[in-house]
Amino acid sequence: MEAHFNRPPRVTVPGQVRYGPHTSTAADWPAEALLSAKGSTTVSVVLPARDEERTVGDIISVIRRELMEKIPLVDELIVVDSRSTDATAVRAAAAGATVVRQDDVLPDLPPLSGKGEALWKGLAASKGDVVVFADSDLRNFGAHFISGLLGPLLTRPGVQFVKGAYERPFIGPDGVAQRGAGGRVTELVARPLLNLYWPELAGFIQPLGGEYAARREVLEQVPFVTEYGVEFGLLVDLLERVGLDAMAQVDLGCREHSHQTTAALGRMAGQIILTAWSRLERQGRIVASEPPATGLLQFDADGQATLSDVGVAERPPLASVTRAAADGGRRLTDLVEPTVTGAPAIRDLDRTGAPAEETLT
């Protein structure tokens, strides 16, 4: 099938031109046209979910109806329940997804938390040749969010990774959408970091977006940061492993989802900065006499302080875990202890001695 595929140039410094990823739109990849291109390739959709009872069922229903029953493009639909305290798992199962509890996947490993952990466990629990990740809090989900991401992977053998691009409006308390006002951490943290240190990736419109797809063999070769730095880390690691020519993005239109508080976004920003630090250090581009601290002290409107630990752990490439599991001479946990970026946990910091996310009075 033919599709509009372009690479917009981007000037990074005078006299140099960098090119962004191959770009197309979801309309270029209609699901019915992709079915013949799919052939024997199997596709898994993985939805990480924590307390998303209001939206996860509708998303699953759309995928099952449009991409499994009407057009059999998706072979496996998994929801990773990330320690939800609401009815997320019940509603996901009722809508037709296979629900796995995060801590039940590879249970011999030391348990970790965070979005990246749910994604990594979802990769381990799924079987598809191509894996599509999508967030579970989308309010305007359509089947094109999945089929659009699959298009380049099913039709172009050289493409290894596809990222979703979209407009992210901010939905205020009054329910009115403010165009261009979403993606605050992207604009204030992630985009400046990418332009500074990885300008090849600056053409990705939504580097922190939760909708993306890749070939399993590639995903199993890269580590997963367990917290909110996971998308940033994957972009940088995949650039190093497969190169920009194997990366693409697809415009999915508009994406509406729930918003976090400013304080929560601050913690997310800290995790992304530490993820970037770890990649710079790993690439030999930064040398420090001591690791960065992981404590984040924040204040509410009344001046009350809360201290949080924003340190990030990291799961190793899944392929290495598979090899370790097959090694009868060594315990799996001996080979895959998580790595942590930053100084010791907050409970060990000299300045307060407070545990993570404790309100200080």
Residue 17 contacts residue 9 (beta carbons within 8 Å)? yes
Q: Quick count: other Cβ atoms within 10 Å of Cβ 315?
A: 25
Residue 116 contacts residue 227 (beta carbons within 8 Å)? yes
User: CA quadruple 36, 212, 139, 7: dihedral positive or negative?
Assistant: negative
Residue range 53-80, pLDDT digits in tens: 999 999 999 999 999 999 999 999 999 9
Query: What amino acid is encoded at 320 in this protein?
Result: S
- Stated as kind and residue range, the H or E segment containing 13 is strand 9-13
Which pLDDT band holds residue 344 (cuts at 50, 70, 90)?
Answer: very low
Q: Rounded CA gap, 283 and 279, in Å?
A: 6
Give residue 323's pLDDT.
79
* pLDDT score of 153 more than 60: yes
Q: What is the mean predicted confidence (pLDDT) over 39-49?
A: 98
Give residue 256's pLDDT.
80
Give residue 330's pLDDT.
54
pTM to 2 decimals? Answer: 0.87
For 200, residues 6+ apart whose C-beta sits below 8 A from its C-beta are 18, 239, 244
Residue range 215-261, pLDDT digits in tens: 999 999 999 999 999 999 999 999 999 999 999 999 999 888 566 78
Which of 173, 133, 146 lies closest to 259 in space, CA to CA?
Answer: 173
| Of the candidate ranges 32-36, 262-266, 310-314, 340-344, the one whose mean pLDDT is the lowest | 340-344
Give residue 114's pLDDT.
93
Q: What is the mean predicted confidence (pLDDT) over 310-335?
A: 77
Residue 213 contacts residue 38 (beta carbons within 8 Å)? no
Tokens coding 266: 């601050």
Give residue 101's pLDDT.
98
Q: Output the average pLDDT for the chain.
A: 86
User: What is the DSSP pairing of strand 247-254 with strand 161-167?
Assistant: parallel
Give residue 334's pLDDT.
54
| Of the candidate ranges 197-206, 228-237, 301-310, 349-358, the one whose mean pLDDT is the lowest | 349-358
Q: What is the mean predicted confidence (pLDDT) over 108-130?
A: 96
Q: What is the mean predicted confidence (pLDDT) over 134-150?
A: 96
| Of the candidate ranges 3-17, 74-88, 110-124, 226-240, the one whose mean pLDDT is the lowest | 3-17
